[in-house]
Structure 1
Amino acid sequence: MGTIKVQDGTEIYYKDWGTGQPIVFHHGWPLSGDDWDAQMMFFLDQGYRVIAHDRRGHGRSTQVATGHDMDTYAADLFELVKALDLKDAIHIGHSTGGGEVIRYVAKFGKGRVAKAVLVSAVTPIMVQKDSNPNGVPKSVFDEIRLNTATNRAQYFKDFPEAFYGYNRPGAKASQGVRDNWWRQGMMGAIKAHYDCIGVFSETDFTEDLKSVDIPVLVLHGEDDQIVPFEISGKQAVKLVKNGKLISYPGFPHGMPTTEAATINKDILEFIRS
């Protein structure tokens, strides 16, 4: 593990384990690189070099007040990629991290990225507006903002229920998974979390998706209560030039944790294909 200092002085924390072809993991809101534990261990054992960073303001990276926008997130990642001299890399992003992957690949990835994987990703755009009439109403994100700003500790206790589908009949909930979600969330800065809500809900990745010509795997749970499949994964795969979609009936937003064995197998097959 270590840190790099990017152009504005922000320190970005990262873990870098193993050798071989690099796989870079991009986490979701409001978590950290620790959310990829199940994938880091699996792909390390498969002979890959695995890297996971904490987005600025999240986890162990600097709790700065500025730079919470998708272009800066992608630029921070590019600084890390250059510092580690990563080439022929696979970039895998969950939720907000999926948006970060596609923005990074579109702006900075030429010649360095082999493939990309979007898992439960916010692409192409989440919020409802005239050009996206089937999106999620802005009022939903305003409620997330309000609770994050005024009641974050308790709100982050409650949020994992829908995130992992624990609110569904017959779901087998894990208190450890709930606690780990809360731990990661509360490590980050409230300002970064608040600003990132606008980033993951309002950023439009349509042109980024259209511009990418590397192979892209889109994985999405059909019972995703956070980023609905019909407006995200189902649409994103139509915009990329070389895309493959795998959707999973009944899988929740946090499926890299709850369904790690399935997700890991499908990603490995895509990487090796």
Structure 2
Amino acid sequence: MISQADFITNDGVRIHYYDTKTTQPPILAIPGIGGSAALWQKAIELFSSDYRFIIIDPRNQGRSARTFKGQRISRHAADLNQLIEKLDLVDIIGIGNSMGAANLWAYISLYGEKRLKAIVDLDQPPKMIKDKTWQYGYQDLTWNNYPSYLKADFGTGIATHVDDAMFALAKKEAQSFPYHPEENLLCRINHAEQDWRDVLIELKKPMLVLAGKKSPFFDYHFAEATAKLNPLIKAKVIPNCGHLIQAEQPNLMYKEIINFLHN
């Protein structure tokens, strides 16, 4: 059973979150841009026997408030920090899909790693813009076409089948709480221009990178390139999977994360 609640950020925005409220070790999950908790239902089922599962709906997404304020990764990190402090979470396993992983890296950059036990990155390279130093960015995004390239609609990122019931739930959620990408474009732009390699090089806590082999957004080879930044980073490629690993291959995701946490 998962409960739902809201909190108000220090800039006055209502943020919605989900919490199984057990005494087990906490997992804090963050959806990618435009996403919500709806496509994490299988993950909740898989992890909830051994972990407390918490999911945040980032501002402008899911059931959280729509606002012009804070369309930047640093503000998303501040929202995470407020939730973590509100719930007094420690030894957190942070799992971020897409921009959700960047939110975790921003949190580490601003607030440190002391409340974290481990990090899991679901299909998000540390750098989105291709240049001479990094070849595994977002599709064909370069400094020459940034930021205009980001105005296009690139779809959901799903490349394989998603459980019918979960997909129906996500569709209903999207109809009830629609996401407006044009109103959140500044967040996408701010997300795209970041380079988190300096944070990952200095990581003191272990991190697992899972890449979807069929991701339409990223070349899955980014996972191995990311692992080379720090010996504490491990990389795995999930076969028959697109960008939304938690929805497309929840069982394989669960297996890889459990192996990572127990080894």
Range into which the TM-score falls when normalised by the shorter chain: 0.7 to 0.9
Bigger shift: 34-43 or 247-256?
A: 247-256
Q: Separation in 2 of the partners of 1:43 and 1:199?
A: 32
**Distance of aligned partners of 1:10 and 1:137 in 2 relative to their CA distance in 1, 3 Å threshold:** same
Task: Name which of 92, 95, 101 aligns with 1:89.
Answer: 92
Per mean C-alpha deviation after superposition, the further-off stretch among 232-241 and 58-67 is 232-241
Which residue pairs with 1:9 in the alignment? 12
> Partners of 1:243 and 1:134 in 2: how far apart?
17
Name whichever structure is richer in helix by fraction. Answer: 1
Mark the CA change 1:92 to 1:133 in structure 2 (over 3 Å): closer, same or farther: closer
Query: 2:42 matched to which residue of 1?
Result: 38
Is the CA contact 1:212–1:241 (under 8 Å) kept in the aligned structure 2?
no
Alpha-carbon distance in structure 2 between the residues aligned to 1:259 and 1:141: 31
Assess if the C-alpha contact under 8 Å between 1:86 and 1:112 holds in 2.
yes
Where do residues 74-223 of structure 1 align in structure 2 (5 Å cutoff)? 74-121=77-124, 123-132=125-134, 135=137, 136-138=139-141, 139=145, 142-147=148-153, 159-160=155-156, 163-166=157-160, 172=161, 180-185=169-174, 187=177, 188-223=179-214
Give how far 1:236 is off: 1.8
Residues 78 and 264 of structure 1, relative CA distance in 2, 3 Å threshold: same
Equivalent pairs: percent with the same residue?
Answer: 23
Paired amino acid for 1:103: A
Cα distance, 1:191 vs structure 2: 4.8
Kept in 1, the 8 Å contact 2:27–2:52? The answer is yes
Task: Name structure 1 gaps, 5 residues minimum.
Answer: 148-154, 167-171
Point out the more displaced range, 263-272 or 65-74.
Answer: 263-272
What's the TM-score, normalizing by structure 2? 0.86
Deviation at 1:144, TM superposition (A): 4.8
Q: Tell me, what secondary structure is at the counterpart of 1:229?
A: coil
Counterpart AA for 2:262? R
Alignment: residue pair count: 253
Alpha-carbon shift at residue 241 of structure 1 (Å): 4.2
Amino acid at match of 2:50: G
- Tell me if structure 2 keeps the 8 A contact 1:15–1:53: yes
Computed over aligned residues only, the root mean square deviation of the Cα atoms, in angstroms, reads 2.4
8 Å Cα contact 1:54-1:60 kept in structure 2: yes
Over residues 183-241 of structure 1, what are the superposed CA-to-partner deviations in whole Å (9 max), with x where a residue is unaligned? 555623445532232133222111121121101111112221112223x3232222234
- 1:169 is aligned to none
User: CA separation in 1, counterparts of 2:12 and 2:45?
Assistant: 31
**Unpaired runs of at least 5, structure 2:** none
Find the aligned partners of 1:55 and 1:176 in 2 and give their Cα distance.
Answer: 23
